[in-house]
Structure 1
Amino acid sequence: MMDTLEEAELCFPQLLNSSCRKPEPPHSAIFIYILLFVISMFTAALNLLVVISISHFRQLHTPTNLLLLSLAVSDFLVGLLVMPVEILLTETCWILGDIMCALYYFLPIIITSASVGNMVLISVDRYVAICDPLHYPTKVTKKIVIRCICLCWICSVFYSIILLYDNLKQPGRYNSCYGECVVNITGAVHLVLTFIIPISVIIVLYMRVFVVAVSQARAMRSGIAAVSLQHSVKITVMKCEIKAARTLGVVIVVFLMCFSPYYCVSLTGQDILVGSTTEAFMIFLMYFNSCLNPVIYAFFYPWFKKAIKLIVTLQILQPDSCEANIL
């Protein structure tokens, strides 16, 4: 009888000596799992609204918004695919085998790397817009931004292949028992390439943006005396750029707050076992950032609120709705 109960608790009863035990979360954890699934669906839905808004309305087809579109795509995939599987991994046995385990982790690593790359591109965009406004229209065009976004995603794919090469070469080498899905990432390499270098670039660029934006704001306040119409238009454009820089600055600060705990673990020199329970909180904190981005847009971008109203009321199905004035 005891042997039967013990076998029932195993992921693979036929492998008594090497099978993992089935996770048995306490009853209090059920509420947490439900909450995480709700957050996951909420993340996917909000970012899908961002994707539809920027893709559908032509007024939103600007270089900066294309970067937000790329970020929203990665956030949408996090909510739709990554978070649900991560939740299931914490309470069920992995039954798809070691090779599928290694292949599965391609997706979160690609998405995470692409998100970091998008943040760097957003910082560069704001740096050029604020620090070199006269050359911004020629330096940052839609074609150039699209190429940069494609390059960002391609590099993320190749980076994930290199990072998971050892796990693909010998699948399951880091699993302690059958029914577990754990892969190993070299902490130092991952830390430098996806945190230290890009975060340093982001901070340096935004510090420069902040200094220039403050000086320009002071200049506008002190010399606002009506001069010419052309000068007035330049001031209005500059105010819009500064406001956009402020909003995207909030996005970047929230991004740093959510991603820093996970990467700071690597500062101890330890390798990160992706899939281990000790890293679960920091991983979900990273993924929660994907839910916060569209919430920030809703607070700071009036066009997003207007776009949501048109989408929810199905007015985007009307002819020429893509030409609607939502700015």
Structure 2
Amino acid sequence: MLIYILLSSLLTVALNLLVIISISHFKQLQTPTNLLLLSLAVSDFFVGLLMIFQIMIIDGCWLFSDLMCSLWLIVLASITSSSIGTMVLISVDRYVAICYPLHYFTKVKPKRVQVCVCLCWMFAALFNSLLLKNNLQQPGRYNSCIGECVFDMNYITNVFDLIVSFIFPITVIIILYIRIFGVAVYQARAMRSHIAVVTTK
């Protein structure tokens, strides 16, 4: 358990804290891309902190109240969703930077990125609160014995969660990175042909 805490929690917390401090402290690091990385580091930092509670569940018993269990589940789900949403925003940022480099600095500005990050976090919190509202309204209703911390969702809710939290983001990321790869290959070929012409001359 000590190794698990050190590797999964403390290391995650420490390394992400370094990223958070670096980007927050140095103004020159506060570029649109780094603001997205900051959001990702914040979500991973909180995941590392919340892993301590996960260890308590793995060990057998939830030591806190049923209400704390419900809140913990919602917070953990929201942080995970915001992390996935931030990865989608990072892929959009890279897509604009590589496919439309001349328009990047006019389209992608720090203020716009901050608004997108805030909306991402707000959507994640609202979405997961709605999914797990039954658990929050009646904490512990799905526990079969004292010391459990579980939740339950019906089939339709599970499918909806799978689509919104996994299938849609992964699809967007794959499509954008395939497009980026295509542009990168095209640019590499153009550079090769240009170098060949220069070498011949």
Q: TM-score, normalised by structure 1?
A: 0.57
Paired amino acid for 1:123: S
Q: Which of the numbers 57, 64, 78 marks the counterpart of 2:26?
A: 57
Q: Deviations over 1:156-176 (max 9, x none)?
A: 111121011111222222111
1:222 aligns with 2:193: yes
What is the aligned partner in structure 2 of residue 179 from structure 1?
Answer: 147
CA distance in 1 between counterparts of 2:80 and 2:197 reads 48
Partner SS, residue 172 of structure 1:
coil
The aligned runs of 1:16-31 (5 Å cut-off) are: none
Given that residues 88 and 173 in structure 2 are in contact (C-alpha distance below 8 angstroms), is that contact kept between their aligned partners in structure 1? yes
Structure 1 alignment gaps of length 5 or more: 1-32, 228-327
Cα offset for 1:75?
0.6
Matched ranges for 1:157-306 at <5 A: 157-185=125-153, 186-224=157-195
Cα 1:169/1:70, change in 2 over 3 Å: same
For the residue of structure 1 that corresponds to 2:152, the secondary structure is strand
Runs of at least 5 residues in structure 2 that lack an aligned partner in the other structure: none
Structure 1 moving runs of 4+ over 6 Å: none
Query: Which of 1 and 2 has greater Rg?
Result: 1
Task: Give the structure 2 partner of residue 321 of structure 1.
Answer: none
Distance (whole Å) between structure 2 residues aligned to residue 88 and residue 169 of structure 1: 23
Pick from 91, 94, 103 the counterpart of residue 135 of structure 1: 103
What percent identity do the matched residue pairs reach? 60
TM-score normalised by L of structure 2: 0.91
**How big is each residue's C-alpha offset from its partner over 1:37-90, in whole Å with a ceiling of 9 and x where there is no partner?**
0111001000011111111222211111110010001011111x2111101111
Deviation of 1:210 after TM superposition, in Å, equals 0.7
Deviation by residue 1:129-166 (Cα, 9 ceiling, x = unmatched) = 11111111111111110110011111111112101111
CA distance in 2, matches of 1:134, 1:69: 25
**Alignment equivalent of 1:41, drawn from 10, 20, 30:** 10
Cα offsets for 1:272-310 (capped at 9, x unmatched): xxxxxxxxxxxxxxxxxxxxxxxxxxxxxxxxxxxxxxx
Q: Distance in 2 between matches of 1:226 and 1:57?
A: 43
Establish whether residue 71 from structure 1 lines up as the match of residue 36 from structure 2: no
Q: Is the 8 A contact 2:56 2:62 kept in 1?
A: no
The number of residues matched between the two structures is 194
Secondary structure of the residue aligned to 2:62 is coil
Partner of 1:134, secondary structure, is: coil
